[in-house]
Amino acid sequence: MDKKILFGIGIGLIIGVGCMFWYKYTANLSDSQIEEKARGLGMIYENESKSIIKGED
């Protein structure tokens, strides 16, 4: 490969990682809000499913 391409990829990675360190993400969600969003995406609890697996009580 051309050295200029590798050099460009390396600089891009360094800039990308630098941006990730400076970005501050704070999620202020309560447990109930997280559960509500997960249920909206199809989450169910183990005791809510009606399937019976052979060998388990």
According to the model, what pLDDT value does residue 10 have? 95
Mean pLDDT of the chain: 86
pTM of the model: 0.42
Per the structure, the complete domain to which residue 27 belongs is given by: 3-53
pLDDT digits (tens, 9 = 90+) for 33-54: 999 999 999 998 888 877 666 6
Nearest to 35 by CA among 46, 26, 45, 27: 45
Confidence tier at 27 by pLDDT (50, 70, 90)? confident
Query: Total structural domains in the chain?
Result: 1
Instruction: Kindly tell me if the per-residue pLDDT of 22 is higher than 90.
Output: no
